[in-house]
A and B are shown apart, each in its own frame.
Chain A
Amino acid sequence: MAVTMKDVEYIAKLARLKFTEEEKQKLTHELNDILNYIDQLNKIDTSNVEPLSHVIDVKNVFREDVVKPGLTSAEALKNAPAKTEKFFKVPKVIGGKDA
């Protein structure tokens, strides 16, 4: 399953990242190297083995739906790159290039 430059461009789009032509070439090469290494997993017989997603016994945690102190909007906005009094401010959403 060799990764092509076209794959790198597609994945970059999904990941919301941009690369120069030179970076794309380097990434194609590096991803192929790493994926070739990963392909050794295909040697293992894994029929009848279930995937493992939790290593300790975890159960869903429920609690009463009661209001507890949280961040104020001023606190939540403290690290915002741009804001109005009560909102995060972002560039236009509708009518942009990807819309």
Chain B
Amino acid sequence: MKSFDILRQELSAGTTSCEKIAQTYLAAIDNGKHLNTFLSVFAEKARLNAVAIDKKLKSGKAGPLAGMVVSVKDVICVKDERVTCGSRILENFVSLYDATAVSRLKAADAVIIGKCNMDEFAMGSSTENSAFGRVKLPQDGARIPGGSSGGSAVAVRAGMSTTSLGSDTGGSIRQPAALTGVVGMKPTYGRVSRYGLVAFASSLDCIGPFGVCVKDVAAVLKVIAGHDENDSTSAVVPVPDYVSSLTKDIQGLRVGLPKEYYGSALNTEIREAVERKIESLRKNGANVVEVSLPSTDYCIATYYILATAEASSNLARYDGARYGYRSQNPEDLMEMYVESRTNGFGAEVKRRIMLGTYVLSAGYYDAYYKKGQIVRRLIYDDFHRAFEKVDVLITPTSPTTAFRAGEKADDPLQMYLSDIYTTSANLAGIPGISVPCGNDKQGLPIGLQVLGKHFDEATVLKVADFLETNV
């Protein structure tokens, strides 16, 4: 787990090269095959790209991310490579173009090394739902790494790439970052273009980075953020230099602790770990106050109405006609649709399509979908009021540390409650980051979440950077 800073130092000292860096990661991927982190690895392309970037470095023409090797969750398109979304239905689908986030990384001279395993269509909190097998937690293979971007989190944690791109619809970057002990950020909705991100729930989906430290996450975000004409929901808001905002100066910073996030669901060790970090903020001049987000209890219910409704609509495109899996010798069009979808999707995806179809169906739309949108406004308003008083909010990222594989697999609702502290940021559209916050008694990582105002990633990153280095 070397940070980008260290790699850059080694590059300028001449003790390494991009090619050597890429080869080190490729060897780690090879040695870590049992973790099931990658669904495809671009070994030769990555090595050749690294060689080309070494030449650029020598001539002084390299981009800002030269020396960085990035892995990409397999829900984000990399041209001419497969994008499976962890699903049989897209097992052989080859991307025709680069996602905007990927093309910006390439233009900044990052090397893309491969595609990471994930819960099918990003639906899950444990990376057990992949059609290609579950991802294992490096610290304890019997446990899960969180999800749905479990492969990306493990790739960074196990030294298989410097950073990784994930996607976060209800916590899918922050929760696996917490459970594996790395940094993971969900930017403001619209901060990073969703062009080339396979859609799950379009009003909630965000691409964001994982890294071993906040600074690496800041460096990646700077490159991938900003308006893109290929995504009409990408915001026309200037992108500051996030790395230079990491000043560690938190004097006078107003920090809110939403009391609803410190209730009885929270495990004691996690509470204590988070409180220790909060104490260090107080000691260094921050004003810490309790705030209230009264609609917190309704986030999961609201999320599962809206996310499944949007998913049922987005996943209607997998019909076996134009791409993806098609059932063998269907008798007619309807049989092709039904058989392709029934055999192509896994159990959790089908469950969510069913729930989403139900809440959108005639007679239930007002009771569920419209109700969900109404409560979404209450959740949004809660944050708006809180941010009139404070600059950031600090909460635990996950109510538990990494759980055992299979532990929640038979109870969808229990699995959904893994996201109890993370769905709110997606519903409100605000940025959030998870930073490591020590370990529990079993040595499993604990994560702390910093939430901020719309488009104020700079403050969120500054606070996260402070917390990362101050225990």
Contact = CB atoms under 8 A, between A and B. Distances in A.
B383 to A, nearest CB: 10
A38 B325 contact: no
B188 A56 contact: yes
B9 to A, nearest CB: 38
Given A11-B361, A16-B337, A33-B412, A56 B189 contact: yes
B423 interface: no
B206 to A, nearest CB: 11
Interface string A5-17: 0011011101111
A50 interface: yes
Nearest to A75: B96
Nearest to B188: A56
B436 interface: no
Contacts, number: 167
Given A37-B413, A38-B368, A91-B332, A52 B374 contact: yes
Contact residue range for chain B? 35 or more
A26 B321 CA distance: 30
Interface string B283-326: 00000000000010110111011000000100010011111111
B331 to A, nearest CB: 7
A98 B331 CA distance: 11
B12 interface: no
B126 to A, nearest CB: 17
Interface in A31-57: 31, 33-35, 37-38, 40-42, 44, 46, 49-56
Contacts of A90: 321, 333, 336
Interface in A76-99: 76, 78-82, 88, 90-93, 95-99
A40 B94 contact: no
Interface in B383-403: none
B239 interface: no
B91 to A, nearest CB: 11
B372 A96 contact: no
A40 B188 contact: no
Contacts of B380: 52, 55
Contact of B354 (A17, A53, A95): A17
A79 B188 contact: no
B323 A79 contact: yes
B323 A91 contact: no
Given A52-B377, A81-B320, A98-B332, A11 B232 contact: no
B376 A31 contact: no
A10 B357 CA distance: 10
Q: Which of B229, B312, B353 has the most CB of A within 10 A?
A: B353
Contact of A50 (B323, B342, B371, B377): B377
B332 A44 contact: no
Given A41-B301, A52-B376, A55-B380, A15 B333 contact: no
Contacts of B439: none
A9 to B, nearest CB: 11
A67 interface: no
A78 to B, nearest CB: 7
Contact of B412 (A1, A30, A92): A30
Contact of B321 (A7, A75, A88): A88
Interface string A63-74: 100000001000
A38 B334 contact: no
B373 interface: yes
B354 A8 contact: yes
B331 A97 contact: yes
Contact of A38 (B295, B305, B330): B305
A71 B96 contact: yes
13 contacts: A8-B354, A16-B341, A17-B353, A18-B342, A34-B413, A38-B304, A38-B368, A41-B305, A41-B375, A58-B190, A63-B229, A79-B322, A79-B324
Top 7 A-B pairs, shortest CB-CB distance: A96-B332, A55-B429, A51-B373, A81-B326, A79-B323, A52-B377, A98-B334
Given A41-B305, A50-B374, A81-B323, 8 more contacts: A7-B358, A17-B341, A19-B342, A51-B373, A56-B190, A56-B233, A91-B335, A96-B334
